[in-house]
Amino acid sequence: MTAPEPPREAPDAWLPPAPQRAQSEPAGTPSFPPPAVDPGRPPQRAEPPVATPPPVPSAPSPAPHPPSFVPSAQYPAPSSPSAQYPAPSSPPPSSAPYPVPAPLPAPASEPPALPAAEHPHPASPLVRGWITLVAIVVILAHNVTDASQGLHAAGVLRLVALAAIVVVLSMALGFVRWRTTWFLISDTELRIERRFIVHSVDRIPFTRIQSVNVVQPFAARLLGLAALRIDVGAKSGHTIEFLPRSRAYRMRDYLLARAHGTATTLSEAAALPQADAWHDRAVHDEVVFKVRLTDLIITAVLSPGFLISLAWVVLAVVLGVAAQGSPFVVLVGGALPAVLGAAETVNRRVLTQVNFELTRSERGVRAAKGLTSLTSESLPIDRIQGIAVHQNILWRPFGLYQVRMDVLGSRREKEDSIGTMLVPAGRLDAVQAALGAIWPQTDLLALDWHGVPRRARWLCWIGPGTQRFAEDDFLVATRGGVLLHRIDLVPHARVQSVSIDQGPLQRRLRLATLAIHTSPGAVHWTRRWMEPEDAGLLCHGEVEQCRRAAAMTNRRSRAASQDPDTVF
């Protein structure tokens, strides 16, 4: 990591003329002019949080209030060699309020103990511009069908000019954003700083990381770049846009190792065998599941969204013909929205899931997918809060299932439901393989499934016999449903709370409903039609098991991690 990365020298090529900047200086030297000279750099840079000493727990405060103004070079922190920032001409260290361990060395004379914060890759604005361009083209394509009547040459020209302006603006914005973004991934911390309009410093404790995504939009893929998205369980994740692809993969592996509680360093992580740049697959990674295009198409075509759209189209055409309306009205008024809806379903269920590949690596699972843009989401196994297996009744003849997992704070992707995809479309063996890769201690088919009492038929007329329940040392499971057959799996260690409910009719029949609450997502674990006594026993037993499992994982993660972040 100490070796200067190519992107760190590249910025100069993309900057406006900055004659003060020595092009060939090594990364550790104070190559920056005094802050006031550089317009791209806010004046606060003189005391940036970059230089905040790690012992201060509230590091993210962007403007710490030191007893007196201290140029950052005087901070005794090992990160002080963020020598890019302090002005070389700043006042000499005379009255340092902090105990300075030794006469402060000139920043250039010693190699930095930590890599300084750096900008993302300088080509990032280009990618943003490209994404904007694609968005404009898509919007135009959506609207051009309506507007095509009154379109003439001048109009087209105006549209193109408008689009060009928007793209240039977005690239300019992207450039400013790139110039005002810093990130730091080191052995001790992960930090992202933004100083555009809103100044923010996000310091992310390693142990709080829930999942790490590497996202490559098409343009980024062409340029060999990738965005790093770090999910910490809050609603929005943290994004670093963009890094060179191989670096993004390396950082991903490193962050995952730290999230897992493994004490490792960047240089150790860099020495590990790396993922192949094109397939994102390390040598000893094992492919668990690969989706088949035909399965994806079947699940999409036989999904409620698609069928409703199709029925709507047929209805519109039939009604239109019956009423002898003009074909144009029929098409635009009735059929077109439905066709767009169907296309949306296909896009969501097929195009975004193409090439889906589930990989089991040493430290977790990784789901990679995408046709033009490539997304790969990685997470440690113990971050999975629950798994839901769904089978639409129409998929049953084909034996197809869909499997989702819940991860804290995972972004709500535009899938038809929430949760992160584990198997977008696959047969039973695929489901078993995926589950086996994640929770090898449990075999879905070998579980001891219990049914419901016969008297439940009075309340549940359709398919009470499909309701099943099972549990083992590791998880609790329910399954059931006719139109949508679903299996919900929750490990004991991930149970948040348990409740028993009983309505008046249930009480008459001496039945009760047990519900297990987990973090929000695809999993909804309820077991209806239980004997109340069983529900009571199970409830108490479950809470007991949940407590024990949680205590165990807690001890393990505490023991495994010497990360100072654990105290958070």
Please, which residues have CB within 8 angstroms of residue 95's CB and are 6 or more apart in sequence?
Answer: 68
Does residue number 418 form part of the binding site for other proteins (CB under 8 A)?
no
Q: Which of 142, 158, 508, 547 binds other proteins (CB under 8 A)?
A: 547
Which of 327/503 has CB closer to other proteins? Answer: 503
C-alpha 502/C-alpha 512 separation (Å) is: 5
Helix extents (H) in 260-365 = 266-271, 293-301, 304-322, 327-329, 336-349
C-alpha 231/C-alpha 259 separation (Å) is: 11
Does residue number 501 form part of the binding site for other proteins (CB under 8 A)?
yes
Binding window for other proteins (CB under 8 A); candidates: 160-168, 184-192, 295-303, 514-522: 514-522
Shortest Cβ 371–other proteins spacing (Å)? 34
Q: Which of 88, 224, 557, 564 binds other proteins (CB under 8 A)?
A: 557
Which of 459/550 has CB closer to other proteins? Answer: 550
Q: Cβ(142)–Cβ(82) under 8 Å?
A: no
Does residue number 554 form part of the binding site for other proteins (CB under 8 A)?
yes
Shortest Cβ 408–other proteins spacing (Å)? 6
Q: Which of 412, 450, 507, 556 binds other proteins (CB under 8 A)?
A: 507
Binding window for other proteins (CB under 8 A); candidates: 134-142, 263-271, 459-467, 527-535: 527-535
Q: Is 411 exposed, middle or buried (0-12, 13-18, 19+ CB in 10 A)?
A: middle
Does residue number 256 form part of the binding site for other proteins (CB under 8 A)?
no
Count CB neighbours of 67 within 10 A.
8
- Residues numbered 202 to 241 that lie near other proteins (CB under 8 A) are 233
C-alpha 485/C-alpha 295 separation (Å) is: 18
Shortest Cβ 543–other proteins spacing (Å)? 5
Q: Which of 29, 519, 564, 565 binds other proteins (CB under 8 A)?
A: 519
Residue 115 Cα distances to 1, 83, 111, angstroms: 7, 10, 9
Amino acid (1-letter code) at residue 460: C
Nearest residue to 486 via CA among 386, 410, 345: 386
Q: Is 431 exposed, middle or buried (0-12, 13-18, 19+ CB in 10 A)?
A: buried
Does residue number 496 form part of the binding site for other proteins (CB under 8 A)?
yes
Binding window for other proteins (CB under 8 A); candidates: 296-304, 437-445, 473-481, 509-517: 509-517
Q: Cβ(334)–Cβ(310) under 8 Å?
A: no
Which of 339/460 has CB closer to other proteins? Answer: 460
Nearest residue to 88 via CA among 51, 35, 52, 38: 35
Does residue number 541 form part of the binding site for other proteins (CB under 8 A)?
no
Does residue number 417 form part of the binding site for other proteins (CB under 8 A)?
no
Q: Cβ(300)–Cβ(346) under 8 Å?
A: yes
Does residue number 546 form part of the binding site for other proteins (CB under 8 A)?
yes
x/- track of binding to other proteins for residues 62-101 (CB under 8 A): ----------------------------------------
Task: List residues binding other proteins (CB under 8 A).
Answer: 233, 383, 385, 408, 493-504, 507, 512, 515, 517-520, 524, 532-533, 535-537, 539-540, 543-544, 546-547, 550-551, 553-554, 557
